[in-house]
Homo-oligomer: A and B are copies of this chain.
Amino acid sequence: MKVPGELVELMLREERFTIASHVNPEGDAIGSSIALALALKGLNKDVRVFNTDGVPAVYGFLPYSGLVETVMDGERLKDSVLVVLDCNSLDRVGLDGAECRRVVVIDHHQTVTDFGDVRWIEPDSPAAGLMVFNLLRALGTRIDGDIAVNLYTAIAVDTGTFRYPNTTAETFRAAADLVDAGADPAEVSNRLYESWSEKRFGLLVRVLQTLDIVDAGSVRCAITNVTLDMFRETGTGAADTENFINFPRMIGSVEIAVMFREEEPGCWKVSLRSRGACDVSAVASRFGGGGHRNAAGYRACGSLADLRRGFLEAVQFCAAAG
């Protein structure tokens, strides 16, 4: 992974940064944002971190998670280099129409737009966190324990702690260096996987009860859903569903897992995961969504029965198209 010289130069030259990551953030968005902010602060830059949805409770353990602000005034932005992290549009960070001095995009998601004054896109990187790790190396900043925990968590989340196909030798070497710098793999795993609230676990059980396994042509799909009613009844919210979609993937026969999450009455966020044989980003793009081959999503309104039918048809179409 080669860090663009132009990016390094800009980071060293500019003085004021606002780091923004995508709405509904996960550990990679939050961890890599905080890590980059700490490193830039170490270079005596004026840095602020923005995420419109804030830090999900599960990531409250991240050092300096309190840095993340959910409101950012326009004057500040105008005067900042805006670093769009782990995504690649103003829309995705919830800052549509914002004006800023310059825009830097650092993302590991494939994109077709050319948004940003300086763009660094690495579709083969498992996590934005691994890109920030390399950026900090290129900047020559020291990775201290706080930065290490943030970056380790970012990488751990986006690789399913080294279980997903995006896990490379470079990922492991970065993890080794982050452990040397102070990240504790067991502590992070404990925070990520064994610190659920009782309410969240109750929601998981409810969601798993909706599991339906059906064939779309030759592609076996595991379908789950979570409704606003379930959130209400269990006292939970959208953030509590993170990672739910991966549970049905434990089933060997399942090629695609899909979860319908109700965002507003009758409108759904549809998350897709594939084992790799089927490109779910192609499925998602048919509904105006996007993502990677193995993880994608889209939004749609309608009855669950209609949306299921549409989804299964799209899978058949994509499967037939190869």
Residues of A within 8 A of B (CB): 160-165, 167-173, 175-177, 179-180, 185-186, 189-190, 193-198, 201-202, 204-205, 208-209, 211, 213, 248-253, 275
| Complex contacts, A175 vs chain B, CB 8 Å | 162, 172
Contact check: which of B162, B177, B208 meets A208 at CB < 8 Å?
A: B208
A192 to B163 CA separation, bound complex (whole angstroms):
10
| Complex contacts, A194 vs chain B, CB 8 Å | 249-252, 275
| Complex contacts, A173 vs chain B, CB 8 Å | 172-173, 176
Contact check: which of B165, B172, B186 meets A165 at CB < 8 Å?
A: B186
| Complex contacts, A205 vs chain B, CB 8 Å | 205, 208-209, 211
Q: A172-B176, A176-B170, A213-B198 are in contact. Are A250 and B193 (CB under 8 A)?
A: yes
Q: List 20 A-B contacts (CB under 8 A).
A: A160-B189, A162-B185, A163-B185, A164-B185, A167-B179, A169-B176, A169-B180, A170-B176, A171-B176, A172-B173, A172-B175, A173-B173, A190-B275, A194-B250, A194-B251, A194-B275, A195-B252, A196-B251, A204-B208, A205-B209
| Complex contacts, A252 vs chain B, CB 8 Å | 194-197
Minimum CB–CB distance for A166 against chain B, Å: 8
| Complex contacts, A179 vs chain B, CB 8 Å | 167-169, 172
| Complex contacts, A189 vs chain B, CB 8 Å | 160, 162-164
Contact check: which of B204, B251, B275 meets A201 at CB < 8 Å?
A: B251
A213 to B197 CA separation, bound complex (whole angstroms):
12
Q: A194-B251, A201-B250 are in contact. List 15 more A-B contacts (CB 8 A).
A: A160-B189, A161-B162, A161-B163, A163-B185, A163-B189, A165-B186, A169-B176, A169-B177, A172-B176, A190-B275, A193-B250, A198-B253, A201-B248, A204-B208, A205-B208
5 A-B pairs with the lowest CB-CB distances in the bound complex, closest first: A172-B176, A163-B189, A195-B252, A165-B186, A169-B179
A252 to B198 CA separation, bound complex (whole angstroms):
8
Which of A162, A177, A180, A251 counts the most B-chain CB atoms under 10 A from its CB? A162
Minimum CB–CB distance for A127 against chain B, Å: 14
A127 to B187 CA separation, bound complex (whole angstroms):
19
A208 to B194 CA separation, bound complex (whole angstroms):
16
A177 to B185 CA separation, bound complex (whole angstroms):
19
